Amino acid sequence: MSERGMQELALLLLTALANASRHGYAIAQEVKAMTDGRVAPRTGALYGALDRLLAEGLIRVEREEVVGGRARRVFALAPAGRERLEEEADRLAATVREVRRRLADGATALT
């Protein structure tokens, strides 16, 4: 497991694909919904990140289709992506546990 955390956009893209295959626009909408609008990836950033995740073998192109005369790729989480996402979830959970422990210790020290 990597000690360094995953970039937020990569984490969100993998999370958006964890339960369903999606095309680029649907992924962007899912990220926006998951973050209550805090993260709304621009087209260039979205497809740049998707290309990096493809190159790393974390996602795959499930199929290509033509909709309204335009080509569209549908992406899916690859097995390596699912594993990396699980590792990142474990790392984040451990960090949150430590934050909560220290906050509780700090609250106790203040009383």
pTM for this prediction: 0.87
Residue-wise pLDDT for 32-72, tens only, equals 999 999 999 999 999 999 999 999 999 999 999 888 888 89
* Structural domain that includes position 51: 8-110
Judge whether 82 lies within some domain.
Answer: yes
Residue-wise pLDDT for 63-106, tens only, equals 998 888 888 999 999 999 999 999 999 999 999 999 999 999 88
CATH number at residue 27: 1.10.10.10
Closest Cα partner for 53 from 22, 19, 80? 80
Judge whether 3 lies within some domain.
Answer: no
- DSSP class per residue in 27-95: HHHHHHHHTTTS----HHHHHHHHHHHHHTTSEEEEEEEEETTEEEEEEEE-HHHHHHHHHHHHHHHHH
Judge whether 2 lies within some domain.
Answer: no
Judge whether 69 lies within some domain.
Answer: yes
Total domains in the chain come to 1
